[in-house]
Amino acid sequence: MNEKAISNREKILKTATQLFAERGFSAVSQREIAAAVGIKAASIYNHFPSKDAILEEIIKRLSIDLEESLRLAYEPEELISLRAYIEGITTTSDAYFAADAQLNLGIILMREQFFNAAVREMLYKMMILRPREAMSGYFSRLMKAGKMRNGDPLFAAKEYHSFYVYEFYENALSFDILPESAEPSESGRVHLDRFIESWEIE
C-alpha cells in the first residue's frame, strides 16, 4: 500500500469517527464519508468494503490502544502497596478517558453498544473482563505476600471496579461522557479510600 493510500485510509477513519460521533453510525453513509474526506465515492471501497468494516477497524485500534495504555498500570512487575496500585490504575484510567482524543470514541461506543455486537463485545472485554482479570491477579499476589487481607481476589476486584463502571455509565447516560480531569471524582476518592481501608495490611 503506497503512502497516498495509507493517508487516505487514515483520513477515512478519522473522518468517519467524527461523523459517527456527531450524527450516529446509522445516519452516516459511505458516500458522505468519502465526500468529507475529499475522494470519489467509489474510492472508499478500495479501503473498506462496508461501513461496518470502518467501524470494526476503529474498534480494533481502540482496543489495542487501550490495552497498551493501561497494561503497565494494571499489571506492574514490581510488587507495590495496595494503595499505590489502586491510585496508579485510577489515575492512569482517568487520564486516558479524559484525553480529548477519546471524546468521539466514547460517544460512538455509548451509542452503538446497543446495536452493534462488535462494540458491545469490545466494551465488555476492555471495560469489564480485562481490568477485573488484571486486578484479580495482582490482588492474589498481594494476598500471598501478606500485604492484603486474605479473601477472594476476584470478589475484591469486582468490589473495587464495579463503582467505576457504574460511574462511567452514569456520566455517559447523562451526556457527560468523559471526566473533566484526570483526578478521581469526590465519590470515587471516597470509594478508593474505603476499599483500601477494608483490604490493605500495613
pLDDT at 109: 86
C-alpha cell at 52: 461496518
Domain 1-49 in this protein, CATH class: mainly alpha
Ordered by start, the domain boundaries in the chain are 1-49, 56-199
**Number of Cβ atoms within 10 Å of the Cβ of 131:** 20
Residue 112's CB is within 10 A of a number of other CB atoms, namely 21
Per residue in 49-88, pLDDT tens?
Answer: 999 999 999 999 988 988 888 898 999 999 999 999 999 9
CATH number of 56-199: 1.10.357.10
**Shortest CA distance to 161 belongs to which of 65, 76, 74?**
74
pLDDT digits (tens, 9 = 90+) for 95-131: 887 777 777 888 888 888 888 898 999 889 988 999 9
pLDDT averaged over every residue in the chain:
88
Nearest to 134 by CA among 157, 150, 109: 157
Alpha helix positions (H), 124-152: 130-144
What is the model's pTM? 0.81
Question: What pLDDT is recorded for position 187?
Answer: 86
DSSP state of 115: T
Given pLDDT bands bounded at 50, 70 and 90, which one contains residue 10? very high
Give the mean model confidence (pLDDT) for residues 140-166. 95
